Structure 1
């Protein structure tokens, strides 16, 4: 498990853990060696002059003091390193999650990442702060004590040494017996987290259907499975705990019988026998604590394994020699993209000259939004190339690529914080005047002026305290503040009321002015303002050209336009 911990932490964070392990090991060895001083102490006490024990008692007390100081320093180091590493691992996990392709984030992984990033990381790294010292003490101190027993009497030492493989076998047997139950419990926990999230997200639907007083059966069933798996996991531990207790007690009894036999035969002294029995009793406590530590260690090991698997998931590769695009035109060259065994885009070729606008239209599921994702390199194409300024986006560094692209999607997510903090995500170092200018262009200043907190109004998780139109204005202001030369736009006004739609359209028009634009379009006005239109269907380009040209052809686009006019004319 220690090796797994080092792999998860990486070289940068593994060094302080190694120092902490060395301190804890030294404290455990000193503790075991200090018990050897009991021999002269007991020999003096049972000898002709008990007063001779005082010097040895002083030496024994000094050894215990040294052991206590080492234990304090090592435990303090464990707590400090644990808190530091917790912060470091969260940063490493967050950076890694940000580099994974969006295709990795399917529905099943929501609960997995939630559990892992919450209690999983805490449980895994609690090993350093809370479990590492008891674990090392439970392993090293008994072994050191056995070495002392061997030095006192080889027969008693060998009898104590026989317990080592027995304890190891019991632990391995317990680990194998509980592995399946622990894995099932972890899977049930992840499923229950998914169901809780689903239940919270389904509140509008449940309330609209008048089912707020009913129990949510999917969540109930999931929690019942957690309860049953918890019981099975607890029962699986019982045989191992009883086996460890029986083994330790049996070895201690054997040492007691052997020691009495040797003492009665005059082969060893009384002081030696008493010392061995004291040492054996002292060994029993840490060995028995392994039974309690075992469950927590197995849980931490499982979380470490899941964390290692997540961190080993390959992110989108960064170029070894990144290039910088010299222009801001866009090209899709025979792009093929597959997901979950389905071909989403099949041989798509499109060009957008610098400063022009491309509107991508077509039925739902045609792959329109996927085009935007590939250009922003949320995914990599399976074949073909996506180019920005003549450079393959895979050859452009992530920071460089994203500095040149502003993205405005229909579903806007705002982070918990103030309006100003969410807008400044576009460019954190922007001045106050630049911030206000972007807000005015997006007509966000109207929202800020009527809110009691102004710029410091907290938006809530996901922007829940703002309306859809207000969230869109924040998103557009953020894109305007970023001032990127390329804009990716997924139709953002389809679900807005007329007032907000007018405000958002005005902000979008200012955002798009003079920039290279690729936009997924549904509204007729958006399509008409485009320099070029591509009709996408079934992952392929069915038609492309300018708006008037495509209408004159009387093909798929003309039919789409006619249907859109019919829908727009309905009362």
Structure 2
């Protein structure tokens, strides 16, 4: 488990972990040796010269003090290493999640990552601080005492030593019996977390339909699944707990019976037997704790394995020989892409000259939004290439590519903070004047002026305290401040009221001026202003041309146009 922990964290954390393991092992051995000094102490106390016990009592006191110092240092090292590892794994996990392709974030992974980043990481990293010391004590202290018993009387020591592999076998068997049930319970837990997130997100819809107080069937079923899995986990662990207790008690009884036999035969004295029984009893306590510790360690190991699986997921590769594009035209060359066994883009070829605007329209699921994602390299193409300035985007370093591209999505996500902080994300080093100029161009200044706290207004989690149109203006201001030469627009006005749409459209016009633009849209004024229009369906270009020419052709685009002008929905994102 320690090896997996170091693999998850990296070699830079190996030294504090190994130092902690050494200190904890030394403390456990010191505890066993301190207990071993009870043999000469009791032998002297119950012998002919009780005063001879004083030197042994002094040695026992010194051993206990040494054990106390080692235990303090080991626990302190464990807590320090635990906090260091916790900080390190959060940083590594966060950096890795930021590099994974957007396509990796499927719906079922939201609950998994949420649980892993919260309780899962704490549970896995808590091993060093809370579980390692008692586990090493349960292993090293009894082994030390058994070694002392072998040195004192090989027969009693051998009887105690025989119990060691039996206890280990029972513990391993119990762990294997519980592993499947524990895995099922963890899977149910992650599933329920995902349903809780969906249930909370669905509150506006449920309440709008007058069903806000209704039970959520999928969530209820997931919670019932957790209860059933938890019951099975407890039942599967019960034989191991009982078996371990019976094995330890049987070993203690065997040592007691053998010791009584040796006393009656005159081989050892009663004082020696009493000391051996004290040592055997001291062995029993940590061994009995193995059942509980084993369950906690299995749970922590399961979280470590899930964390290791996420961290082993390959991010999009960085180019071995990076190239910086000098132009900002776009080209899709025989692009193929799909997921889930479905082809989304099928052999598409298309070019967008620098400084021109391309509008992509088509029915829902046609692959429109996927085109934008491929330009921004949220995914890598599976065939063909996407080129920026004649350079395959896979050959452009991620930071350079992101510097050249500004993206405005339909569903704008703002971070908790003020309006100004969210705008500054476009270019953190911008001056106040540049921020204000970008806001004015996006007509965000109108929003700021009517808010009581102005630029210091908190937007709430995800921008929940602003309207959809206000969030879009923040997003456009952010893109304007970034001043990237390539702009990707994804249905940015589809859900806005006419007033909000007019303001956002004006911001889009200013954002698009002089830049290479690819827009996914179905609002008329946005499409009509494009230099070139392609109608996409099934991942292929069905029609392309300018607005007037496509209308005269009377094909799919003309049908789309008529449906839009008549107010009939013509298809959403794709």
Q: Same fold (TM over 0.5)?
A: yes
Is residue 505–residue 526 contact of structure 2 (8 Å, CA) maintained in 1?
no
State the SS of the aligned residue for 1:321. coil
Shift of 1:106: 1.5
Report the equivalent of 2:22.
22
Paired residues for 1:286-297 under 5 Å: 286-297=286-297
Paired residues for 1:84-483 under 5 Å: 84-483=84-483
Is residue 43–residue 275 contact of structure 2 (8 Å, CA) maintained in 1?
no
- 2: distance between equivalents of 1:145 and 1:424? 65
Report the equivalent of 2:557.
557
State the SS of the aligned residue for 1:489. strand
Report the equivalent of 2:572.
none
Is residue 344–residue 367 contact of structure 1 (8 Å, CA) maintained in 2?
yes
Q: Which runs of 4+ in 1 moved over 6 A?
A: none
Report the equivalent of 1:506.
506
Report the equivalent of 2:530.
530
- 2: distance between equivalents of 1:242 and 1:297? 19
- 1: distance between equivalents of 2:562 and 2:448? 40
Shift of 1:492: 0.7
Report which stretch shifted further, 195-204 or 161-170: 195-204
* Residues 487-541 of structure 1: per-residue CA shift (max 9 Å, x gap): 1111211111122111111111111111111111212211222122122111111
Shift of 1:411: 0.7
State the SS of the aligned residue for 1:374. helix
Q: TM-score, normalised by structure 2?
A: 0.96
Report which stretch shifted further, 136-145 or 200-209: 200-209
Shift of 1:453: 2.4
- 2: distance between equivalents of 1:473 and 1:460? 16
State the SS of the aligned residue for 2:525. helix
State the SS of the aligned residue for 1:275. helix
Shift of 1:372: 0.1
Report which stretch shifted further, 432-441 or 328-337: 432-441
- 1: distance between equivalents of 2:565 and 2:227? 56
- 1: distance between equivalents of 2:100 and 2:205? 32
Report the equivalent of 1:12.
12
- 2: distance between equivalents of 1:151 and 1:454? 80
- 1: distance between equivalents of 2:568 and 2:132? 68
State the SS of the aligned residue for 1:462. coil
- 1: distance between equivalents of 2:344 and 2:475? 28
Is residue 152–residue 272 contact of structure 1 (8 Å, CA) maintained in 2?
no
* Residue segments in structure 2 that go unaligned for 5+ positions in a row: 570-574
Shift of 1:283: 0.9
Report the equivalent of 1:32.
32
Task: Kindly tell me the number of residue pairs found equivalent between the two proteins.
Answer: 570
- 2: distance between equivalents of 1:19 and 1:441? 59
State the SS of the aligned residue for 1:461. coil
Shift of 1:271: 4.1
Shift of 1:208: 2.2
Is residue 408–residue 488 contact of structure 1 (8 Å, CA) maintained in 2?
yes
State the SS of the aligned residue for 1:162. helix
Report the equivalent of 1:81.
81
- 1: distance between equivalents of 2:91 and 2:99? 13
Shift of 1:64: 1.0
State the SS of the aligned residue for 1:407. strand
* Residues 317-344 of structure 1: per-residue CA shift (max 9 Å, x gap): 1222222112111111100001110110
Report the equivalent of 2:521.
521
Paired residues for 1:536-551 under 5 Å: 536-551=536-551
Report which stretch shifted further, 243-252 or 112-121: 112-121
Report which stretch shifted further, 546-555 or 222-231: 546-555
Shift of the 272–397 alpha-carbon distance from structure 1 to 2, 3 Å rule, reads farther
- 1: distance between equivalents of 2:275 and 2:43? 9
* Residue segments in structure 1 that go unaligned for 5+ positions in a row: none
Report which stretch shifted further, 544-553 or 457-466: 544-553
* Residues 16-63 of structure 1: per-residue CA shift (max 9 Å, x gap): 212111111111122222223223222321232212211221121111
* Residues 139-158 of structure 1: per-residue CA shift (max 9 Å, x gap): 11111111111111211111
- 1: distance between equivalents of 2:517 and 2:185? 49
* Residues 352-375 of structure 1: per-residue CA shift (max 9 Å, x gap): 111111111112211010000001
* Residues 529-571 of structure 1: per-residue CA shift (max 9 Å, x gap): 21221221111112223333333434333333333333389xx
Report which stretch shifted further, 209-218 or 171-180: 209-218
- 2: distance between equivalents of 1:388 and 1:500? 32
- 2: distance between equivalents of 1:150 and 1:433? 82
- 2: distance between equivalents of 1:16 and 1:406? 43
Is residue 532–residue 546 contact of structure 1 (8 Å, CA) maintained in 2?
yes
- 2: distance between equivalents of 1:108 and 1:288? 39
- 2: distance between equivalents of 1:305 and 1:179? 13
Give me the CA root mean square deviation.
1.8
Is residue 345–residue 539 contact of structure 2 (8 Å, CA) maintained in 1?
yes
- 1: distance between equivalents of 2:523 and 2:76? 63
State the SS of the aligned residue for 2:496. coil
Shift of 1:269: 3.9
- 1: distance between equivalents of 2:13 and 2:378? 29
Is residue 188–residue 222 contact of structure 2 (8 Å, CA) maintained in 1?
yes
- 2: distance between equivalents of 1:424 and 1:163? 67
Shift of the 324–134 alpha-carbon distance from structure 1 to 2, 3 Å rule, reads same
State the SS of the aligned residue for 1:384. strand
Is residue 47–residue 271 contact of structure 2 (8 Å, CA) maintained in 1?
no
Is residue 336–residue 348 contact of structure 1 (8 Å, CA) maintained in 2?
yes
Is residue 442–residue 507 contact of structure 2 (8 Å, CA) maintained in 1?
yes
